[in-house]
Amino acid sequence: MYNLLVSHSRQIHEQVIVRGCRTLGSVIPGPPHNVDNSKWYRMFLPRDNNSEDFDPSLDGILFSRPYEWRLNLESGITTEAYITTEDVAMDFPVINENFTGIRNKYGYTQVVDSVATSKTGLFKYKMIAKLHFDEPDKFCSGVQFIAKKNGRDEDDGWVITYVHDEGTNISQVYIIDAKRFSDEPIAKITLPQRVPYGFHGNFFYK
């Protein structure tokens, strides 16, 4: 089991709650020299439990899924579970940073089906609203939540993500109203250069 990205953690009395994205395998440091290439690439493919040659130790183990750990500091016991189902893989989770370390309702993350499809978008935990741009040959990469300076609710703000169109080789920035997640983005900014997949960062007010 591997956990590369943590979205949030907080403490309630003797219990620490940690949420992040969990995988069953790791792409780091890369494949062993003697590995069968076909087995290595199977780790990047979506799981198909109905396949005759399905192998749970290989198929889709590099796909991360939202996960929660509850660490009891007194008993030393850890309880853990998936936050969503195992059917959808997700990565690069973020929250409204104003709620770091305290109780929060929402998390935002990139939804990943596989590198061979464009079934990508964003999830908003608890509301579980998938962003609508399930368009052919378009893939999103990374996500950031920008809180409104005078916002009152946790989801008062915008979600920003890169979207690349494989057909036109054009990258854009999508800005989405976090309270109206199923609506059209409020802005699409076309960039002069392609943004590589996996590129992500942070946002700072001046």
Nearest to 107 by CA among 97, 127, 93, 121: 93
Residue pair 9/16 in contact by the 8 Å Cβ criterion: yes
Percentage of residues of the chain with pLDDT beyond 70: 68
Alpha-carbon distance values, 40 to 7, 24, 81 (Å)? 28, 14, 27
More confident position, 59 or 169: 169
Sign of CA pseudo-dihedral 180, 152, 8, 202: positive
The pLDDT, as a whole number, for residue 36 is 64
Helix (H) or strand (E) holding 170: strand 170-177
Helix (H) or strand (E) holding 70: strand 65-72
Angle at 50 between CA 110 and CA 89, to 5 degrees: 10
d(CA 95, CA 145): 6
**Which amino acid type is present at position 70?**
R
d(CA 156, CA 104): 13
- pTM (predicted TM-score): 0.74
| Cα radius of gyration (the chain) | 18
User: pLDDT tens digit string along 178-206?
Assistant: 988 878 889 999 999 998 887 877 777 77
Percentage of residues of the chain with pLDDT beyond 90: 30
Q: How far is CA 75 from the centre of its chain?
A: 31
Strand, coil or helix: 181: coil
User: pLDDT tens digit string along 92-127?
Assistant: 888 999 999 999 888 888 776 544 444 445 555 443
Binding residues for Fe cation: 200
User: pLDDT tens digit string along 23-76?
Assistant: 776 666 666 666 666 665 566 555 555 666 666 555 666 777 888 999 999 999
Binding residues: 200
Tell me the domain boundaries of the chain. 2-26+62-190
The pLDDT, as a whole number, for residue 177 is 93
The pLDDT, as a whole number, for residue 196 is 87
Which ranges in the chain belong to alpha helices (H)? 37-42
Is the pLDDT at 143 greater than 80, yes or no?
yes
